[in-house]
Amino acid sequence: MKENDQFARAKMIMARVVSEKIPQAERWSVPKEFKSWIDGLSDKEFKVYLDRLSVLTRNLSDEEAPKETGIFVRGKSYPVEKMETKRRLDLIGGEASAYYALALWRTLEAEKLVRQLSGSE
């Protein structure tokens, strides 16, 4: 898969996360505005956005970078008594990630406006 195809797929996933993980998203215009904004980013701008977002969301999951073990990718497993906690973490972590994605988008817009006001853009 080409790098620009990967970015296009990642942009689609980000827009879907925001629209699916935030319960009231159906009633907001924000997910559509976010999708329009993210689709308009260059690959370089999108990578910078993802890098900043990953710093914000790194503690919202128990996931680690996949480790290849031969031809298999090793994942985590949990005892049955922890499955409800894992399910809850996935739900809340997904919601938090979506809100962080929106907050970072608005932060970047605010930073751009501050630069415009200060005359540096």
Q: What digits encode the pLDDT tens for the residues 9-51?
A: 999 999 988 888 887 767 888 888 999 999 999 999 999 999 9
Average pLDDT, the chain: 84
SS (H, E, C) 26-73: HHCCHHHHHHHHHHCCCHHHHHHHHHHHHHHHCCCCCCCCCEEECCEE
Q: Which domain holds residue 14?
A: 3-118
Percent of the chain beyond pLDDT 90?
Answer: 42
Mean pLDDT of 67-88: 72
Q: Name the nearest CA neighbour of 15 among 42, 48, 40.
A: 40
How far apart, in whole angstroms, are the C-alpha atoms of residue 26 and residue 19? 7
Mean pLDDT of 81-110: 91
Structurally, the chain folds into a number of domains equal to 1
Please say if the pLDDT value at position 74 is more than 60. no
pLDDT at 3 (0 to 100)? 73
pTM score over 0.85: no
Please say if the pLDDT value at position 115 is more than 80. yes
